[in-house]
Amino acid sequence: MKRFKKVYIEITNSCNLSCDFCPKTKRTLKYNEVKEFQHILKTIKPYTDYIYLHLMGEPTTHPELRTYLELSRQAGLKVNLTTNGTLLKKVENILLASPALRQINISLHSFEGNKQVRNIDEYLDTVIQFILRMIASTRVICSIRLWNMDDELLKGKNELNQHILDKLQDGLEAEIDIKEALKEKNGIKLRKQVYLNMAKKFEWPDQDKEHLGDEVFCYGLRDQIGILVDGTVVPCCLDSEGHINLGNIFETSLEDIINSPRATALYKGFSERTAVESLCKKCGYASRYHRIK
pLDDT for 224-262, tens place per residue? 999 999 999 999 988 989 999 999 999 999 999 999 999
The mean-pLDDT minimum among 14-23, 110-119, 131-140, 211-220 falls in 110-119
Give mean pLDDT, residues 194-217: 77
Task: Assess whether pLDDT exceeds 50 at residue 291.
Answer: no
Q: Cα-Cα-Cα-Cα dihedral of 197, 83, 212, 286, to 10°? A: 60
pLDDT range class, residue 135, cuts 50, 70, 90: very high
Question: Which domains can be identified in the chain, with CATH numbers?
Answer: 6-200 (3.20.20.70), 224-289 (no CATH)
The tens digit of pLDDT for each residue in 65-79 reads: 999 999 999 999 999
CA atoms of 191 and 200, how far apart (whole Å)? 23
Give mean pLDDT, residues 26-52: 96
Q: Cα-Cα-Cα-Cα dihedral of 33, 233, 59, 111, to 10°? A: -150
**CB burial of residue 244 (10 Å; 0-12, 13-18, 19+):** buried
CA atoms of 98 and 110, how far apart (whole Å)? 25
Q: Under a CB-based contact definition with an 8 Å cutoff, are residues 14 and 57 in contact?
A: yes
Closest alpha carbon to 107 in 177, 32, 184, 164 = 164
Distances (CA, A) of 179 to 3, 14, 222: 38, 35, 35
**CB burial of residue 209 (10 Å; 0-12, 13-18, 19+):** middle
Task: Assess whether pLDDT exceeds 50 at residue 292.
Answer: no
Task: Assess whether pLDDT exceeds 90 at residue 62.
Answer: yes
Q: Under a CB-based contact definition with an 8 Å cutoff, are residues 265 and 255 in contact?
A: no
Give mean pLDDT, residues 178-201: 91
Distances (CA, A) of 70 to 37, 94, 96, 144: 12, 10, 12, 24
Which is it for the CA torsion 130, 136, 140, 144, positive or negative? positive
Flag whether the pTM goes above 0.75: yes
